[in-house]
Structure 1
Amino acid sequence: MSRLAYYADFVTMPVLALLLIVLGDAGLVGIVSGLFTWTLAEYAIHRVLFHRVPGFRAAHDAHHAKPCGRTGVTSWHSLAVFAGLALVLPAGILAGFALGYLGYITVHHAVHHWTIAPGHPLYALKLRHAAHHCGVEANFGVVTTAWDRVFGTYRANRSKSRQK
């Protein structure tokens, strides 16, 4: 995937959220509802679409094979999905979705591409996601463990002595 296709969402999602908030008159309740709903969508997309649906699974398997590569959903695809959602969702919920997605891609990029040392706020997320990449059919949530806990797919990080 090209650098542009990989990184464009880091620009387009904040712009989209801002436009929805300002021009779409998105309210706080809608934005928070969208953020909350995004966390469930993130979990479902990762667990079901990326791990069970053949075409998506093949692309996601490439990400598991090369976690530090620029693999994933291109910005063009995510913008098309958001355009479709704009037909059915209010501006506030869609703004929350965009902010949630931005949080997800930021954290997911960080755990794969940044050096994150013990003690850093993202360290536990990095370890949990690394366990997911080691063939554990668990820890599908990248940003939160909430839905993994609800659906019984949460696996705790190993003991502190083994977290290096």
Structure 2
Amino acid sequence: MELETRNFIAGDWLNGADTVENRNPSDLSDVIGHFAQADAGQLATALDAARHAAAEWGATGPQKRHDVLMAIGTEMMARTGEIGALIAREEGKPFAEGKGEVYRAGQFFTYFAAEALRQLGQTADSVRPDIEIDVRREPVGVVAIISPWNFPVATPAW
């Protein structure tokens, strides 16, 4: 099956400025699909949408965050065979490794779901009297990454 993709940006499926063909490296006659490539304008729109979504996500309560992340993890683990087969074709890796990667990524999301409910911080004593140091972990915000090609699901899940 050959895939044709578009870019999902700000809630809409958009054609890319160009497409790139992707072939199975273990069988070059197997064209996996043609994948949309964003241009600078689409990238800027996607970054703006991500910043807006990050602000909304930041205002979301811990139970809702848990529920969303748990649903993602559960869905990924339920679809390991289907998604693992696509990963195996795209990467040229064994099917078992593709399935394992997808399942592990699903586990990451269920872990993150549990962390959303854990309301722990850290405190430390100061060398100064009557001072307490409070450590809070906060997201850095929207980032763009170029992730390794050999683990296309697990690495971005982290």
Normalising by structure 1, we get a TM-score of 0.28
- Give 1 or 2 for the bigger CA radius of gyration: 2
Higher helix share: 1
Give the strand-richer structure, 1 or 2.
2
With structure 2 as the length reference, what TM-score do the two structures score?
0.29
Bigger relative contact order, structure 1 or 2 (CA pairs below 8 A, ≥6 apart): 1
